[in-house]
Amino acid sequence: MQPAGGSTISVQAPDSDIIFACSHCSTSFVVDAAAAGMTLDCQKCGKPTTVPKITLEAAADNAVKISDLQHQLKENESQRTEITGYINQLSIQLHRWKLRLQSLNERQEKLQADLASLSASTR
């Protein structure tokens, strides 16, 4: 979108901040939405840059984008929760297998000791 002044809007939510880039040097700016249409001197290049005005179409488009991003965030969190649950279940199972292996190793040592003592007593 190219509003007056040549600045480009990257993000805008109604009644919030406008984030845009200087039309000359691309330095990012964040200003209050009330500054829409004002001309500011760029802090980097010193040239005048106009704060873009948000159109109704852009505001509606951004509202849809915001809604979509919020939905994606919820879906992502749901998947993270599911995967965390799987990891916890597998961690518990791994711990159980380690305990079982430890028991089997202890049993093997005991059986080998019993076998050695029986072999020694029969000689």
Instruction: Pick the closest to residue 51 from 32, 68, 66, 67 (CA basis).
Output: 32
69-95 per-residue burial string, b: 16 or more CB within 10 A, e: under 16:
eeeeeeeeeeeeeeeeeeeeeeeeeee
pLDDT level of residue 13 (50, 70, 90 thresholds): very low
**pTM reported for the whole predicted model:** 0.47
Which tens digits make up the pLDDT trace of 70-91? 999 999 999 999 999 999 999 9
pLDDT level of residue 122 (50, 70, 90 thresholds): confident
